[in-house]
Homo-oligomer: A and B are copies of this chain.
Amino acid sequence: MRSLIDIFDLSIEELDELIATANDIIEHPAAYAEKCKGKKLATLFFEPSTRTRLSFEAAMMELGGNVIGFSEASSSSASKGESVADTAKVISCYADIIAMRHPKEGAPYVASKNATIPVINAGDGGHNHPTQTLTDLLTIYREKGRLHDLTVGFCGDLKYGRTVHSLISALTRYTGIKIVLISPEELKIPGYVRFDDLEKNHMEYLETTNLEEALPTLDILYMTRIQRERFADPFVYERLKDSYILTPEKMALAKSDMAVLHPLPRVNEISVQVDKDPRACYFKQVLNGKYIRMALILRLLESVDQPSPAENENAELLINTIRCQNPNCITSVEQELDQIFKVTDKEYHICRCIYCESKQQTKEI
């Protein structure tokens, strides 16, 4: 590992190591206070995300390092038309590690291929946000003492919730996980998550519209927000929304050691009365996010001199033969990038854009 673009860039062993390091930092913060002295993190936020940015900055500072960067694109050279690749090369002259947030999918991947320093994906559009998933995993680990043999409920908007898809995907690597998917019909988990993650990996899962029924079975409840804009019919939203709001009454139905997670910001999907419940872990999660980022920054800076792992080594690549159709892909705005697809299923002629991972079929079957 040289950069972290996708949670799957990490092996299970590397993930275990990061969690172990984070736990050690939590117990012995002073031992880490000077680890990154003289090092600089560049926070390149092409769209605002205060919580994520401040988490990275606090992490770097608690390691004794410094921070440079920008918090929105208007302050950046992007407005002058510079490519992500050039930005990555330039920033490599100023900093030791990059955390990049970008509205276009695949932008941090492009940066990692051009930077001479490690790049951390701090969110690329609706695509990846691996440090959020690391945060979630560390929180589950710290609350339950394990990442296996758990019943994990996801509640709310499971259709568009990027953090939900990522965490489900990450959990496929552990044994004994049972997933409970709680959402209105309109916001059910997309087919590709059900197929590619759950079914392909033979995971036990259950879909329901009823939070109250599901609650007593859960070890973890991962809440997300249901946005009014997702509903064509506002009356449907009004009718449904209360069913997915977590209240002290609903908490009374849950196990006494269930942990409630939420990626934040919350609007009203968890009542503020729940905050006092010792099972409410979403603010602890914020703290864990800082510690896992500290562990990650340390790990990536240590591995700078290691060779990059071979990538797409035995993969069949299609270079500049088809174009990515995803309007949110970085290739849609940066014309000079090669269009590269990796063949993922030869029989069905399926390939994926190496930047945004959109699927495409190369011919009818």
Q: Is A33 an interface residue, CB under 8 A from the partner? A: yes
CB-CB nearest in chain B for A82: B265
Check B68 against A58 for contact (C-beta < 8 Å).
yes
Chain B residues closer than 8 Å to A147, beta-carbon distance:
none
Name the distance in Å between A226's Cβ and chain B's nearest Cβ: 13
Q: Does A50 lie within 8 Å of B72, measured CB to CB?
A: no
Chain B residues with CB under 8 Å of A40's CB are: 58, 61
Evaluate whether A336 and B86 lie within 8 angstroms (CB atoms) in the complex, with A54-B42, A267-B81 already known: no
The residues of B that contact A286 with a CB separation of less than 8 Å are: 89-90, 93-94
* A72–B62 CA distance with the chains assembled, in angstroms: 24
Q: Are A50 and B76 in contact (CB under 8 A)?
A: yes
A89 / chain B contacts, CB cutoff of 8 Å: 283, 286
Given A40-B61, A86-B266, A48 contacting B94 (CB threshold 8 A): no
Instruction: Mark A81-115 against chain B: 1 for CB-CB distance below 8 A, else 0.
Output: 11001100111011100000000000000000000
The interface residues of chain B lying within 8 Å CB-to-CB of A319 are: none
Cβ of A247 < 8 Å from any Cβ of B?
A: no
Residues of B within 8 A of A95 (CB): 58
How many identical chains are in the complex?
A: 3
CA distance A310 to B163 in the complex (A): 42
CB distance B94 to A54 under 8 Å? yes
**Docked complex: A260-274 residues within 8 A CB-CB of B:** 264-268, 272
Q: Which of A27-67 contact B (CB under 8 A)?
A: 33, 38, 40, 42, 48-51, 54-55, 57-58, 61-62, 66-67
Chain B proximity of A341: nearest CB distance (Å): 20
Number of interface residues, chain A, beta carbon within 8 A: 49
Closest CB of chain B to A295's CB: distance in Å? Answer: 16
- The closest CB in chain B to the CB of A92 belongs to B283
Q: Is A79 an interface residue (CB 8 A)?
A: yes
Q: A93-B286, A286-B90 are in contact. Are A48 and B75 (CB under 8 A)?
A: yes
Chain B residues closer than 8 Å to A290, beta-carbon distance? 93-94
Q: Is A71 an interface residue (CB 8 A)?
A: yes
Whether the Cβ atoms of B51 and A90 lie closer than 8 Å is yes
Q: Which residues of B contact A90 (CB under 8 A)?
A: 51, 264, 283, 286
Q: A160 on the interface (CB 8 Å rule)?
A: no
Asked if residues B54 and A61 are in contact (CB atoms below 8 Å), the reply is no
Please determine whether B94 and A58 come into contact, CB atoms closer than 8 angstroms: yes
* Contact residues in B for A268 (Cβ distance below 8 Å): 336
CB-based closest 9 A-B pairs: A82-B265, A58-B94, A93-B287, A93-B286, A71-B75, A50-B76, A57-B68, A61-B66, A50-B77
Question: Which residues of A approach B to under 8 Å, CB–CB?
Answer: 33, 38, 40, 42, 48-51, 54-55, 57-58, 61-62, 66-72, 74-77, 79-82, 85-86, 89-91, 93-95, 264-268, 272, 283, 286-287, 289-290, 336
